[in-house]
Amino acid sequence: AQKVTQAQTEISVVEKEDVTLDCVYETRDTTYYLFWYKQPPSGELVFLIRRNSFDEQNEISGRYSWNFQKSTSSFNFTITASQVVDSAVYFCALYAYSGAGSYQLTFGKGTKLSVIP
């Protein structure tokens, strides 16, 4: 079975602070993919990143960075110098073999980030 845990249900930060959103996953598969998605208050879904299990290099894209650590089964997401526009629900997801004959995409429950001006 596979599972994605986003332990932080809600986070509030003041604008310009850095914030890290945690994601811990469980899978028995050795080949898998991890994702982050953003859902702003307007409701649309935005794909942010995909990372495969063989690439542990951290990635940076502007103010966003991702820290993938296989040893702790974590794929954390950091926003540097947060802005009000970063306010959204962020979902972490795992694509791996489900053990029932197919691959499956499993989402965490999301972390709601509020950036206060």
Report the interface residues with another protein, using CB under 8 A: 33, 35, 37, 39, 43-47, 50, 52, 89, 91, 93, 95, 100, 102-105, 107, 109-110
For another protein, the closer of residues 17 and 55 by Cβ is 55
Torsion, Cα 62 49 59 21, to 10 degrees, reads 80
Nearest distance, CB of residue 81 and another protein, angstroms:
25
Nearest distance, CB of residue 78 and another protein, angstroms:
21
Nearest distance, CB of residue 32 and another protein, angstroms:
9
Q: Which of 100, 102, 90 is nearest to 4 (CA)?
A: 90
In angstroms, rounded to a whole number, what is the distance separating the alpha carbons of residues 112 and 19?
12
For another protein, the closer of residues 7 and 105 by Cβ is 105
Nearest distance, CB of residue 27 and another protein, angstroms:
14
For another protein, the closer of residues 39 and 73 by Cβ is 39
Decide if 44 contacts 89 (C-beta within 8 A).
Answer: no
Which letter does DSSP use for residue 101 in this model?
Answer: S
For another protein, the closer of residues 19 and 34 by Cβ is 34
Cα 84 to chain centroid, rounded: 19
Phi, psi angles (nearest 5°) of residue 70? -65, -35
